[in-house]
Amino acid sequence: MEKEEQVFVLPRSMYKELKAMNREQMQKVLADIYDKGAKSVEHGAVEFECLREEIRKINGIGEKRLDEIMSVIESFLSPAE
């Protein structure tokens, strides 16, 4: 099943309000929207130690293999340099 995109629909009333805003008002609105988006992403954070412990419980995963798995996971989650 494909993940559905959440599409934001801009109501006409909000569009009119945005058009009438000056630079400072628009900056405040956009900052609020950004903060809400950033907070919604924060709750999806991964606890690496908990993840490591759960993977360690899998039968057949030794310490060396666990280190390899964790390094791959970290490479996908860390920002590109």
Domain ranges of the chain: 48-77
Mean pLDDT across the chain: 84
The rounded distance, in Å, linking the Cα atoms of 48 and 52 is 6
Tokens encoding 33: 């929207």
Binning pLDDT at 50, 70 and 90, where does residue 19 land? very high
The rounded distance, in Å, linking the Cα atoms of 9 and 7 is 6
pTM, two decimal places: 0.44
C-alpha distances in Å from residue 68, one per residue of 20, 60, 63, 64, 78:
55, 14, 9, 7, 15
Under DSSP, the state recorded for 3 is P
Question: What is the tens place of the pLDDT at every residue in 28-44?
Answer: 999 998 888 877 776 66
Average pLDDT of the segment spanning 15-39: 90
